[in-house]
Chains A and B, each alone.
Chain A
């Protein structure tokens, strides 16, 4: 099992926004989180990644199991594409960055400074970072932002290959990636109920 989430509640700014979320991912599975802006997709992903503590519930994943990719790509403008990627590869104890460059079609850009990349190219570099982590579970927050159609296809291909290798992916995205193996999870039913002010709200509840 790659990931098991049980009865998870997450909060943003001190307010519980999602409640009773349960999901599991087996090797080869992908799950796409859907829902309107502000429902808590990012918060859920950050909680699963361990950047944030859950309000209640449990997140279980194998140690050193997940690689997280957020809105920002974590690129250094004054380092070249290859230097950026090599850095992350070494942080994750990997050596070879060539396959990742190839998969994201960045080979010709390898020696260019990251500051001279277009938004889409930067995003591709950010996704190539996932490939050099060697982690089984990918946690992706809006991975396709600023990608053109060809790059989206490239990315979908990378995810598919990852799933074939026995990996798994949990992602928040609005675009249909054309991944027929992916399941879709709508977060709207998990929206936390807000008790009306003054109702059942002792100091305790109206505090956190």
Chain B
């Protein structure tokens, strides 16, 4: 299992691994927003938590189809499915690797981008915390979506269509926590809900994803 994690991390950081692409996408989306809504600081401050959450979510979406598609193409997925580690474990590790290479960097970059959007002082801590609690759920849900579409030639668009509705609860609680934090309100409830969603998805979705992969490999 550790070997798989290390391999995926190594692959992501080597040439063509796509590491940093989502981060760059996140940056560009955030930079584009003021051009769309105007440079007025008050407006930006008000929408900053939501924009950063939506931006992080879209950046996360960008790299989802790589999770299984590459392994499927070169035959690794067949071999992993017949290997002595459970497929549920493979899925969980893949999700973890995706979070380490996408969710975690996004979380760390978000405060910097918050400065660009004039995020209020009080909001930085809560934005980072909400992303830290929420992005693992994004990765795991995305892994499930990637497992559903792994057998398809051009599954990328379908993957977005399937995954985005599943992201709604995470987005609502995550953005709400960040927003309340920025307004100086209590954030405990949305943060706890967010943590609950993450815990629940991490516990259950790998089983559904593994089932989907088995179906797709038949």
Whether the pair B3, A90 counts as a contact (CB closer than 8 A) is yes
Residues of chain B within 8 A of A93, CB atoms compared: 84
A92 touches B84 (CB 8 A): yes
Within 8 A of B (CB), among A50-81: 50-53, 64, 66-79
CA separation between A60 and B150, bound complex, in Å? 29
| A51-B217, A72-B75 known; A91+B81 contact, CB < 8 A | no
Interface residues in chain B, defined as those with a beta carbon under 8 Å from any beta carbon in chain A: 2-4, 7, 10-11, 14-17, 71, 73-76, 78-85, 217-218
Which residue of chain A lies nearest to B73 when distances are taken between CB atoms in the complex? Answer: A72
User: A91 and B74 in contact (CB under 8 A), knowing A52-B218, A53-B218, A78-B17?
Assistant: no
Who on chain B is nearest to A75 by CB?
B74
Min CB distance A113 to B, Å, is 9
Question: A83 near B: Cβ within 8 Å?
Answer: yes
Best-buried of A52, A64, A71, A72 by chain B (most CB within 10 Å): A72
Q: Known pairs A72-B75, A93-B84; list 15 more (Cβ under 8 Å).
A: A51-B78, A51-B82, A51-B217, A72-B74, A73-B74, A73-B75, A74-B80, A76-B11, A76-B76, A78-B11, A78-B14, A78-B15, A91-B84, A92-B83, A92-B84
Cβ-neighbour of B83 out of A52, A76, A91 (below 8 A): A91
Instruction: Decide: A78 and B16 in contact? CB cutoff 8 A.
Output: yes
Query: In this complex, what residue of A is CB-closest to B84?
Result: A64
Query: Using Cβ atoms and an 8 Å threshold, which residues of chain A touch B84?
Result: 64, 91-93
> Within the assembled complex, what's the spacing in Å between the Cα atoms of A52 and B22?
36
- For B70, the closest partner residue in chain A by CB is A76
Assess whether A74 is in contact with B74, with CB atoms less than 8 Å apart: yes
**In angstroms, how far is the closest chain A Cβ from the Cβ of B117?**
36
Looking across the interface, which residue of chain A has its beta carbon closest to that of B16? Answer: A78
A190 within 8 A of B: no
A195 nearest CB across to chain B (Å)? 24
Name the residue among B3, B79, B80 with the largest chain A CB count within 10 angstroms: B79
Most buried by B among A68, A75, A78, A92: A78
Whether, in the assembled complex, A155 has its beta carbon less than 8 Å from a beta carbon of chain B, the answer is no
Which residue of chain B is the closest to A76 with respect to CB atoms? B11
Give chain A residues whose Cβ lies under 8 Å from the Cβ of B76: 74-76
Enumerate 17 A-B pairs (CB-CB under 8 Å) in ascending A order: A51-B78, A68-B82, A70-B75, A71-B75, A73-B74, A74-B79, A75-B74, A75-B76, A77-B74, A78-B16, A83-B7, A86-B3, A87-B4, A90-B3, A91-B3, A91-B84, A91-B85
Closest residue of chain A to B78, judged by CB? A70
A31, CB-defined interface residue at 8 Å = no
A51 to B75, CA, bound (A): 12
What is the minimal beta-carbon distance from B19 to any residue of chain A, in angstroms?
12
Smallest CB–CB gap between B49 and chain A, Å? Answer: 37
Q: Which residues of A contact B83 (CB under 8 A)?
A: 91-92
Out of B17, B71, B79, which one reaches A68, CB within 8 Å? B79
Q: How far is the CB of A10 from chain B (nearest CB, A)?
A: 11
- Give A47's nearest chain B residue, CB to CB: B218
Q: Is A117 interfacial (CB 8 A cutoff)? A: no
Is A110's CB within 8 Å of the partner chain B? no
**Complex alpha-carbon distance, A77 and B76, angstroms:** 12
Which of chain A's residues have a CB closer than 8 A to the CB of B217? 51-52
Residue of B nearest to A135 (CB): B84
Q: How far is the CA of A76 from the CA of B11 in the complex (A)?
A: 8
A86 to B2: give the CA distance in the assembly, Å. Answer: 12
Are A66 and B74 in contact, with the CB atoms below 8 A? no
Min Cβ gap A61→B in Å is 12
How far in angstroms is the closest Cβ of chain B from A59?
A: 13
Cβ of A91 and Cβ of B4 under 8 Å apart? yes
Are A49 and B82 neighbours in the complex by a CB distance under 8 Å?
yes
A43–B15 alpha-carbon span in the complex (Å): 35
Nearest first, the 4 closest Cβ-Cβ pairs linking A and B are: A72-B75, A90-B3, A74-B76, A78-B14
Query: Whole-angstrom distance between the alpha carbons of A79 and B83 in the complex?
Result: 20
